[in-house]
Structure 1
Amino acid sequence: MAYRIADARHALMDGYGALMFGGRWNSPGFEVIYASLSYSCAMLEVLAHIGRQGIIPKNHRYIKISIPQSLKIESFAKQNKHWNSPDTIASRAYGDKWIKEERTVALIVPSVVATEDKDIVINPKHPDYRKIKASPPQDIIWNERLFT
């Protein structure tokens, strides 16, 4: 099970944002969907990206993503010591190659904001993507202490 939190004004299972702007594991031009293997890590990833502005996000929703156990998933081993570098060169190079080669439908990677937790990068262009299912979007109950 994976969890994705995003602004509900955008499709939660589309990689358009990553396609346009890139992310830690993809360069612009490569469509992927970012999620986390735990709900709390997904929340932490959102908090890291929105910053501490003191404003509780009102439009965010979450989905649960179910990936059948029969599908092959690659796990990134922290073999490159620069995987978490702020410039993202090493992690993007790895992710771009993984996408181009269509090695697996999903790639498990360490979370940069919580390095003992895992995120998952999903390739919506992979042939096995159609086997992945997502729940309907659900409201997030943010604890206001996170924003004060």
Structure 2
Amino acid sequence: MTVFRITNSNYKDDLSGQGAKIYGGRWNVPGHQALYTSQHISLCVLEMLVNISLTESSVKYHLLKISIPDTMIPAIILNKKLKPNWQDDEAYTRFMGTEFLKNKQAALLKIPSAVIDEENNYLLNPLHSDFKKIVISKSNPFKFDNRLFNF
């Protein structure tokens, strides 16, 4: 399986999940390492746009193509199993994701995107014993199209 991640170029070689540990995210509370990835490059862009300020658009970014062995089966949170309007309740999603990270039963969790319901992100657990099998297969500089910031 291949997943994608857009990250600040300073951290283009870092899969440690330290940023999520410091700041938390939609699917984890601070204090728990996690790596956020998406199934499509375009979803990465949208996820970044809802999370960065316009002043950050001048930061240099990298697009990472991350390879996950096909033998690694993700745990799955199905959109239809979530409560209505789950996108508006970060405490709800943070609890579920943090429990996944703490349990270490799988290295990756397939989660619905709060931006595009029909697409998925993958939360990776850097503390899982199989995580070392996950590698960056390609890394390129990435520039957001400036038109994305003209709203």
Q: Same fold (TM over 0.5)?
A: yes
Check the 8 A contact 2:4/2:41 in 1, yes or no. yes
2:18 corresponding residue in structure 1:
16
CA distance in 2, matches of 1:124, 1:117: 23
Cα distance 1:108–1:6, how it changes in 2: closer, same or farther (>3 A)? same
Cα distance 1:58–1:21, how it changes in 2: closer, same or farther (>3 A)? closer
Higher share of residues assigned helix: 2
Normalised TM-score (structure 1) = 0.90
**SS in structure 1 at match of 2:44:** helix
1:6 corresponding residue in structure 2:
7
CA distance in 2, matches of 1:112, 1:72: 22
1:98 corresponding residue in structure 2:
100
1:37 corresponding residue in structure 2:
39
Sequence identity (%): 31
What residue ranges of structure 2 are gaps of 5+ in the alignment? none
Deviation per CA, 1:106-130, whole angstroms, max 9, x where unpaired? 0011111111111110000000101
2:72 corresponding residue in structure 1:
71
Matching residue's letter, 2:6: I
What residue ranges of structure 1 are gaps of 5+ in the alignment? none
Cα distance 1:143–1:117, how it changes in 2: closer, same or farther (>3 A)? same
Give how far 1:32 is off. Answer: 0.4
| C-alpha RMSD of the superposition | 1.7
Normalised TM-score (structure 2) = 0.88
**SS in structure 1 at match of 2:114:** coil
Matching residue's letter, 1:8: S
1:122 corresponding residue in structure 2:
124
**SS in structure 2 at match of 1:49:** coil
